[in-house]
Amino acid sequence: MEYRRLGKSGLQVSALSFGSWVSFSKQINDKVAEELMSIAYDHGVNFFDNAEIYALGESEKMMGRVIKKKKWDRTSFLVSSKVYFGWRGKENKPNQTGLSRKHVIEACDEALKRLQVDYLDLYFCHRPDKNTPIEETVLAMNHLIQQGKVLYWGTSEWSGVEIMEAHRVAEKYRLIGPTMEQPQYNMFERNKLENEYLGIFKTVGLGTTIWSPMASGLLSGKYNDGIPKNSRFALQGFDWLRDRWMLDDNLKKVKKISELANKLGVSTAALSIAWCVKNQNVSTAILGATKKQQLLENLKSLDVVPMLTPELMEKIETILKNKPKLPDF
């Protein structure tokens, strides 16, 4: 396993990490969750990603039960939560969502109980909150760090302007600013990592824990001939995800990427993940899995990175035709 620093911090995170979105509680039970987390841990994965909204809190509870049972040395792994959406679904009341000081702090306490840990290594603002001043959120996160409940805080799907505003506030009041951002990044979703955040990488620094490196499974190639039963796109309530990715143009590109993968003798999934990890501004790529073999195959993606020569990367660009255009100045 390769380990990378999380932005400009001294924290080292495995280049591949393991997340629970969609799968935990919805697709797999405790036994499978334990098997998958154990495989990940034994292969050097040291970061396990979660959020209050995932399965309305049940995902964190499931991960917490596994962590308690495994009795891993707490200093050997990182665990995260995210705050914004709340966990009560349609029953959420006004102060049970968003990034107010009240919700940020109370959601942290709730996540600690569900995950059965004393502190969160990483705590993300799951989305920007247009109704709460960034100053209030930065102060709340700094408070949690001072209490020892959180070690590093960050953002998810924030704009570059919003991230820099958080840093401006932190510098003004001598507080701790955001260390990391969790954006979506894959062959079809590239602008934030390859354009919008470039200035931040070069100045204050920014770690990235990217989600959906396979575009919710589309870049695994398993949807090339339709939607398999029990797959993510077949789940009830995930029509929006299917409609987002199952486009004719995308499918044509995935089939061509699959042809390249076959020539290399690797899986389409491994090639897609390796393509993400090759970007040195990616601190870690979060993997999701419901089966042992699926996870083992995806963990091989680091072996594919050295195969991504400039010539091969150019072939991929020829297929994708979506490289972000950078400003001329």
Where do the domains of the chain lie? 3-217+277-293
Whether residue 23 has pLDDT greater than 70: yes
Q: State the pTM of this model.
A: 0.93
Tell me how far CA of residue 40 lies from CA of 49, 136, 139, 268, in angstroms: 12, 37, 35, 20
Looking at CATH, the fold of the domain delimited by 3-217+277-293 is given as TIM Barrel (3.20.20)
Active site residues: 54
Q: Are 58 and 88 in contact (CB under 8 A)?
A: no
Q: Are 200 and 172 in contact (CB under 8 A)?
A: no
For range 294-316, the mean pLDDT: 96
Nearest Cα neighbor of 112 from 36, 57, 178 is 57
Whether residue 111 has pLDDT greater than 70: yes
pLDDT at residue 78, rounded to an integer: 98
Sign of CA dihedral 103, 55, 219, 249: negative
Strands 3-5 and 12-14: antiparallel
Tokens coding 328: 């001329």
pLDDT at residue 47, rounded to an integer: 98
Q: Are 216 and 245 in contact (CB under 8 A)?
A: yes
